[in-house]
Chain A
Amino acid sequence: MGFMTLLTAGLAHGGLYALVALGLVLIYKTQGIVNWAHGELLMVGAFSGYTAFVLVGLPYPLAFLIAVLAGALLGAVMERVAFRGIVHEHHATLALVAIGFSVIIKGLARIPFGADVYTLPPAVDAGPLRFAGAIVTAQSVLTITISVGIALMLLAIFRYTRTGRQMQATQQNLNGARIVGVNTGRIFSITWALAAAVGAVAGLLAGPTSLLYPDMGSEFLLKGFAAAVLGGFYSVTGAIVGGLLVGVIEMLIGGYISTAFQQVSPFLIIIIVLFVRPHGLFGRRPVERV
């Protein structure tokens, strides 16, 4: 495979990782929670889309909408039912609750879908395109476009909408937000719904390239972590750039070194970044205060 082909394929995968990382970063910025169940939100998105599109036979845009809503609802419910009450507890307790949800969701998915593997047909049915010496699938183009589009949309929401600015305020200073009358509970729900919806979109877009099975989420979670760490874990822009970079690095390692190393590239990225530049590419160096 040529360099350009690897690069575009990497960007397409990276777009998905960016979406996962976006959700992780949003939740972390708002409540300081690392959502270890984020991969499962992606899986729920993929399977909801599969059910609506393949099993029920709804048109793709409608299936897309259903998947996004299913993900958003699940995310908001998880926050409301579990996390809101224990947000001040130890990170380990929060991690355990998230992992608990991840196990529950996977178990529930296994009841109808079992141990089989499913495929979601691509959203656009077109042959591969040739572009600057690279062979690009239409799905790749769609994935990159939607990922970047969603990222820009989120940035616009933060900057220009009332709710978006309240979300930012809540992220920067929870008590400050409460003092100026922000309904922080509502902001938490919206944050999770948004993060989960973005994850569900990633699941739908991943459908055609990666297979659908109840455990599919963990791989995306890892790469989402790598992307978020690379981007600094606090930055929306960082998450996007981090995601794209992780995708490209992974493809280049797979193409030029070996596929065995490709598997561990996200771990190596996490370890190297945290050793060399713990605040990531876009994070600010943390200040220790007495």
Chain B
Amino acid sequence: MLKVEGISVGYGAIEVLRDLSFTVPKGKVVALLGGNGAGKTTTMNAIAGLIPLRGGEIYMNGERITRQASHKVFAAGISLVAQSRELFPEMTVRQNLELGVLAQTGVSDVVARVEEIYEMFPRLRERAFNRAASLSGGEQQMLATGRALMARPKLLLLDEPTTGLAPIIVSELQKIIRAVNERGYTVLLVEQNTKMALEVADHVYVLRRGGIALSKPRSEIVDTQEIFDAYLS
């Protein structure tokens, strides 16, 4: 579904991603693991069209989305849930959700979609008319995820959803990712929380210094030590 071919990204003299390639197959949950500074968030932002590439190509279902503006990437069916959540602080939860689909034309079932999100995250229904700025970290993460799902994307990019969340909410999040995947969404998950990622992922990549250090189906990983070795090698 998503094919990343040899992309490079840099800020000034610093090269963050070097010739990075990987694929995300349809219907799967793919985890991209790596330590601080490995280039995980940069990869996500590059796919979403938020930062320019220095080289390489990105394809979505065979369609070239390299160097497309972010709204074109969105139209191709990719929704990002940013690590920093990027909510609209002065809007209510409901308005935030509605904006998730506002840029798509010809959507007539906004109310039904909002209802669907509320089913998935009952907490959001309770806080429907509160300002996004007043939500707790876990609620903000739910809202950001829900807002992305409003567009019914073909591919959901989840950037470190566990950042700043209490452990109990992390396990909640695992369930949510599984549920989302069961509804047919393809998920690319970026995580530092290896344990959590291994719980949900079908395939694991380890990113190190802007390149892939390990690529393995989840079923073939017997010992998590293997992952940590790849982090540090």
Task: State if A and B touch, Cβ cutoff 8 Å.
Answer: yes
A contact residues vs B (CB 8 Å cutoff): 162, 165-166, 168-169, 172-173, 175-185
**Judging by beta carbons under 8 Å apart, are B70 and A169 in contact?**
no
Which B residues fall within an 8 A CB radius of A?
Answer: 48-50, 69-71, 74-75, 79-80, 82, 84, 86-91, 95, 98-100, 102-104, 147-148, 151
Q: How far is the CA of A55 from the CA of B49 in the complex (A)?
A: 50
Chain A: minimal CB distance from B207 (Å)? 21
Residue on B nearest A170 in the bound complex, by CB = B88
Chain A neighbourhood of B74, CB < 8 A: 179-181
Nearest to A175 among chain B residues (CB) is B86
- Complex CA gap A19/B74 in Å reads 35
**Interface pairs (21), CB distance under 8 Å:** A165-B95, A165-B98, A169-B99, A172-B90, A173-B86, A173-B88, A173-B89, A177-B88, A178-B70, A178-B71, A179-B74, A179-B79, A180-B79, A180-B99, A180-B148, A181-B70, A181-B71, A181-B103, A181-B104, A182-B103, A183-B69
Shortest distance from the beta carbon of B201 to any chain A beta carbon, whole Å: 23
Nearest chain B residue, comparing its CB with the CB of A166? B102
* A169-B99, A175-B50 given; A184·B87 CB < 8 A: no
Task: State the majority secondary structure of interface residues on A.
Answer: helix
Assess whether A176 is in contact with B71, with CB atoms less than 8 Å apart. no
Q: Evaluate whether A168 and B103 lie within 8 angstroms (CB atoms) in the complex, with A181-B71, A181-B74, A181-B75 already known.
A: no
| Contact yes or no, A172 B91, CB < 8 A | yes
Known pairs A169-B99, A172-B91, A179-B48 / 16 extra A-B pairs, C-beta < 8 Å: A165-B102, A169-B88, A172-B89, A176-B87, A176-B88, A177-B88, A179-B80, A179-B82, A179-B86, A180-B99, A180-B100, A180-B148, A181-B103, A181-B151, A183-B71, A183-B103
Residue from the list B82, B87, B88 in contact with A168, Cβ < 8 A:
B88
Closest beta carbon of chain B to A24's beta carbon, Å: 20
Distance of A66 Cα from B79 Cα, bound (Å):
41
Q: Which residues of A lie under 8 Å from residue B80 when comparing CB positions? A: 179
Q: Which residues of A contact B48 (CB under 8 A)?
A: 178-179
A177 to chain B: which residues have CB within 8 Å? 88
**Which residues of the other chain, A, contact B102 by a CB distance below 8 angstroms?**
162, 165-166, 169, 180, 182
Asked if A173 and B69 make an inter-chain contact with CB atoms under 8 angstroms apart, the answer reads no
- Closest residue of B by beta carbon distance from A165: B102
Return the 9 tightest CB-CB contacts between A and B, nearest first: A181-B74, A181-B103, A176-B86, A178-B70, A183-B71, A172-B88, A181-B71, A175-B86, A179-B80
